[in-house]
Amino acid sequence: MSRLIVVSNRVPVPDGTGAAPAGGLAVALQAALEERGGLWLGWSGKTNEEAETSDLTVIDAGPVTYALTDLTANDVDEYYFGFANRVLWPICHYRLDLAEYGRKEMAGYFRVNRFFAERLAPLVRPDDIIWIHDYHLIPLATELRHMGLTNRIGFFLHIPWPPADVLFTMPVYDQIMRGLAQYDLLGFQTDHDLENFAGCLRRMGLGDTTDGFQFHAQGRSFRGGAYGIGIETAAFAEFARNAEANPTVQKTRRSVENRDLIIGVDRLDYSKGLTQRIDAFERFLAMNPQAQNRVTFLQITPKSRSEVPEYEAMQRQVAEQAGRVNGAIGTVDWVPIRYINRSIARPVLAGLYRIARVGLVTPLRDGMNLVAKEYVAAQDGEDPGVLVLSRFAGAARELNGALLVNPYDVDGTAHALARALTMSREERRDRWRQMMDVMLTNDVSHWCRSFLADLTA
């Protein structure tokens, strides 16, 4: 069996026991690496002005080797905060108004990908399989091909892929598309993302597809596919059952005083629809005055990319909006919105999912959204909560038991909340079972095996 090499922007460094940090993706990739033997390479998260001449930090953990490279502060500014997160991220999430293209940042993005290739190439054996992850590293295959590597190289995009009219607003879209054509297998979250890629390829005259999966461009043939990522469903369900006894979870249950709990969990990001969500909850309370003082909305939103101005502005906006609603509607003994702006330990989070009557997951655009799947997996199958899910999340392609909403439609989302909170136990169980069956079949291990099977076929 060929050795596997995984490359990602960040690497989940193992702890002293050799285990990778908790999380479905890390668990699945580590399992695949252990099965084949392999290497996981990426940025250490540290800045070092001598990064170009510094040695890799290498951690051996049995059959898996973790290789970490530092970057200079300038690299991080241009490659990560600059082009990746101020051009590619907003454009892939259809936010053209927030894309800030700069030639310097573009050059830094391609330069750092070349640097990653230079670090990786000496470690690659002729029969290695290489799996590259996400939008930070799109040009990496091009750089490796320029260095003469002929290995099979796969790429998985964890975020959405936009249609041609959106992508083409990016000045270097042609270099990005040509970079993707250097892979042997492209993985997208949904069939819609795959269709968008095929449309971009045709519109720019770079290539075409014969069946929607086999592509021809730049004298190469390569494949594309939809591989919706999952979670470790069965393990997370057991985790949530145990987490219900967590002291913090029990204290939270007591503190809501028999009120119904609605939960939202999102990284602070403009793609998550946080302001629209708060508007919808406020509208729900206005339309259903009998629900006032009987429902609490817990929104957990850890800070994200605070070095990017748009994120700092959003942090202030969401906090002010939650404060305004609490000030206008709250009472001495009831705070409608509990807004938590920091990370919550995973055992606590799993327990909070389990006690919440509604999971409110309403991104404006999302590649998949694993919070939706974690919420479903955490439920008590005898008395499950209801998932209210944006139809613009990739998870909506799989979770047909959710109440699908348009997050831009504040009234529609408010009506969905009312329906979720009054839904019969029988309907809730039927909807949960439908989603859980899909998630047990298409868990994160299945995602990993499916992609690697197609890459090596």
DSSP 63-91: TEEEEEEEE-HHHIIIIIIIIIIIIIHHH
Question: How far is it, in rounded angstroms, from Cα 408 to Cα 428?
Answer: 25
CATH 3.40.50.2000 domain position(s) in the chain? 4-230+444-456, 233-441
Question: How far is it, in rounded angstroms, from Cα 314 to Cα 307?
Answer: 12
**Do the beta carbons of residue 264 and residue 361 sit within 8 Å?**
yes
Q: Which residue has the tokens 């839904």?
A: 423
Residue 358: is it exposed, middle or buried by C-beta count within 10 angstroms (0-12/13-18/19+)? buried
Residues 19, 20, 24: CA angle, nearest 5 degrees:
125
What confidence score (pLDDT) does residue 182 get? 97
Question: How far is it, in rounded angstroms, from Cα 180 to Cα 139?
Answer: 7
User: What order do you get walking across the sheet with 358-361 strand by strand?
Assistant: 337-340, 295-300, 260-265, 358-361, 386-390, 403-405
CATH 3.40.50.970 corresponds to the domain 4-230+444-456: no
What confidence score (pLDDT) does residue 417 get? 98
What confidence score (pLDDT) does residue 343 get? 87
Question: How far is it, in rounded angstroms, from Cα 119 to Cα 52?
Answer: 9
What confidence score (pLDDT) does residue 24 get? 58
User: What order do you get walking across the sheet with 57-61 strand by strand?
Assistant: 57-61, 64-71, 38-47, 4-10, 129-133, 152-156, 185-188, 220-226, 214-217, 207-209
Which helix (H) or strand (E) segment holds residue 340: the answer is strand 337-340
What confidence score (pLDDT) does residue 447 get? 94
What confidence score (pLDDT) does residue 118 get? 97
Q: Report the candidate in 410, 423, 427 with the shortest Cα–Cα distance to residue 285.
A: 410
What confidence score (pLDDT) does residue 290 get? 96
CATH 3.30.470.30 corresponds to the domain 233-441: no
Q: Which residue has the tokens 């030639």?
A: 103
10-residue mean pLDDT series, the chain (457 residues) = 93 63 69 89 94 92 93 97 96 95 96 98 96 97 98 97 97 96 98 97 92 92 96 94 94 93 94 97 97 97 75 88 96 95 90 97 96 97 98 97 98 98 98 98 94 95
What confidence score (pLDDT) does residue 15 get? 64
Residues annotated as catalytic (active site), given as ranges: 158, 366
DSSP 156-205: E--S----HHHHTTSTTHHHHHHHHTT-SEEEESSHHHHHHHHHHHHHTT
What confidence score (pLDDT) does residue 20 get? 45
